[in-house]
Each structure stands twice: as C-alpha cells, then as structure tokens.
C-alpha cells in the first residue's frame, strides 16, 4: 500500500515516493519520509510495508557498510539476519503482515538501483508454491530504466488516458518532477484490492542520485489529505494538469535535509507515536 517509482537516466537515478501511512481501517495515521538519503554510501533507501521497518532498516544498512558497492554485495545476508532477529511485535500490530520491500538507488560508477524483499521463507514458499514469477525474498532484483511498485497497479488504459496524446515519454526524456508526480497521481486514484480505500497521499518526495551525491526534494503536496480521514482524490483533468506543470517549468521544490544519527533517533520516536501504522 505504498508508491515507489524509480527512473534511471544516463547520468542520474531517481526515486519518487508518497508519504501517507495508515491505520487498519484505511484512515491516515500520519505522513513520513519513506525514502532516506545515506550520503556516505552514495545511496538512498526506501521501504514499502509497515512503517516501523523504516528506521530499523535504514540504521542497519547505514551502520554496516562504507560504500555503495560494499553495501550491495552484503545486503542480502544483512537483511536476512535482521529479519530473523527482529521481534514482529516491534514492527506490526495484530494481523498486519511483517513483509516489506526495500528499494535502493545509488551510484556505482554509474546510476544503479535494485529492490530486495524481506519475508519469512517458509511462509513465502507455502504462499507462492507454483508461481514461477514470484520474487524470492532476500535476493536482489535489479531495477532498469523505469520501475513502478505495482501496489496499486495502474492498467495500460489508465496510463494511456493520463499521458495522452503523447504517451509516456522515453526514460531519458522524462522530467522527474513532472512525470513521476503524474504517475503518482495515476496510482493515487486507484483503490487497494476490494477495500475501496485510496493509499497514495500526503506529499511526493523525490530523491535523486548523481555522481555528485544524493539530493532530496519535496515536489508535490496534497493538502486535502488529513490525519484520521480517508484519502479522497479530487477529479483531475490530465491535459490541464500537464500543461500547468510544463508552463510553470517544474514544480516548486522544498529542500529536504539528509538525516544524521540524532535526527534518525528523532524519526524513530515519531514513528512510535504514530503507532504500528502501514
């Protein structure tokens, strides 16, 4: 119930995430950064799943490695042990699943990105028996030019409607501040399974990695989204929305500082106050 959209271009790689977390009835529990810059690893980390995983995973990766390449080579065993060592009660309440996906973008002589899932292997094998397309937990899956977390999943028809008449641009021609927000807007209007709830909201946080470092910007806000309420997306005219964005030469951006250790501790405290939200 989270959005993550990755775009890899010739000299950069980008990750767009929304900010909303939820209670079990679909109402908004709060808004938080789902992607965190780790400057000394020349990367950024996003987690999709229970929000309490965020500080646990970010701290573990940040403390364990000294470079992006070292991190990529050692992340699978690290997350395997972290998953085994973490008490589920510290991450979830009730019947919510403890599984999560980790998305990482970084720099290794060129832009690079991958995902890696965390799940109980025995439960995964029972659940995915006979499914040849299931992604095995704790195995790196590379991200290519454009990767979209399919949860909720837009159809080809919905993408065509949003991006007509030109269609979705080629990755190297995409403007991250416009095209990735537009993809978020498409997902925002979809409901999760049969529950009828919308799960994309709060604000859009764009993280970009280049040879010079990691940069984060808050590029869009949905001020109508409120704590304790269901998200109700407003009607949208795609052509007008696109024209206004292009005429403005990109959205107004708000610099987002990277987090030091003290700030990550403060983030953990905020997470606890929000409860075991998703």
Q: pTM for the full model?
A: 0.85
Peptide bond before 174: cis, by omega within 30 degrees of 0? no
Cα distance between residue 135 and residue 137, in whole Å? 6
Structural domain boundaries in the chain: 4-274
Q: Which of 7, 18, 2 lies closest to 210, judged by CA?
A: 7
CATH code of the region 4-274? 3.60.20.10
Residue 106 DSSP symbol: E
What is the rounded radius of gyration, in angstroms, for the C-alpha atoms of the chain? 18
Joined tokens for residue 103: 């998305």
Cα distance between residue 74 and residue 146, in whole Å? 25
pLDDT string in tens for the chain (278-residue length): 568 899 999 999 999 999 998 888 889 999 999 999 999 999 999 998 888 898 999 999 999 999 999 999 999 999 999 999 998 888 876 556 788 999 999 999 999 999 999 998 888 888 888 888 888 999 999 988 988 876 667 878 888 889 888 788 889 999 999 999 999 999 999 887 667 889 899 999 999 999 999 999 999 999 999 999 999 999 999 999 998 988 885 444 434 445 556 655 555 554 454 444 44
Cα distance between residue 136 and residue 200, in whole Å? 26
How far is Cα of residue 5 from the mean position of the Cα atoms in its chain? 7
How far is Cα of residue 207 from the mean position of the Cα atoms in its chain? 10
């Amino acid at each position: 119930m989270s959005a993550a959209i990755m775009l890899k271009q010739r000299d950069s790689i980008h990750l767009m995430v929304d900010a909303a977390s939820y209670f079990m009835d679909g109402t908004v529990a709060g808004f938080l950064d789902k992607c965190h810059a780790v400057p000394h690893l020349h990367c950024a980390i996003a987690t999709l799943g229970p929000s309490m995983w965020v500080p646990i995973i970010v701290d573990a990766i940040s403390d364990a490695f000294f470079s992006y390449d070292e991190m990529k080579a050692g992340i699978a065993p690290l997350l395997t042990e972290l998953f085994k060592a973490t008490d589920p009660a510290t991450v979830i309440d009730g019947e919510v699943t403890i599984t999560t996906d980790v998305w990482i973008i970084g720099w290794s002589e060129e832009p690079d990105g991958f995902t890696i899932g965390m799940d109980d292997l025995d439960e995964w094998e029972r659940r995915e028996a006979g499914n040849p397309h299931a992604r095995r937990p704790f195995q790196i899956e590379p991200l290519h030019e454009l990767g979209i977390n399919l949860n909720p999943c837009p159809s080809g028809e919905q993408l065509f409607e949003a991006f007509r008449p030109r269609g979705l641009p080629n990755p190297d021609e995409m403007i991250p501040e416009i095209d990735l927000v537009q993809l978020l807007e498409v997902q925002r209007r979809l409901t999760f399974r049969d529950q009828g709830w919308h799960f994309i909201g709060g604000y859009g946080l764009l993280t970009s990695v280049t040879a010079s470092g990691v940069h984060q910007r808050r590029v869009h806000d949905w001020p109508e989204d409120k704590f304790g309420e269901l998200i109700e997306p407003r009607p949208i005219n795609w052509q007008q929305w696109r024209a206004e964005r292009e005429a403005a030469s990109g959205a107004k951006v708000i610099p987002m500082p990277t987090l030091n250790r003290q700030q990550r501790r403060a983030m953990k405290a905020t997470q606890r106050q929000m409860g075991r939200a998703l």
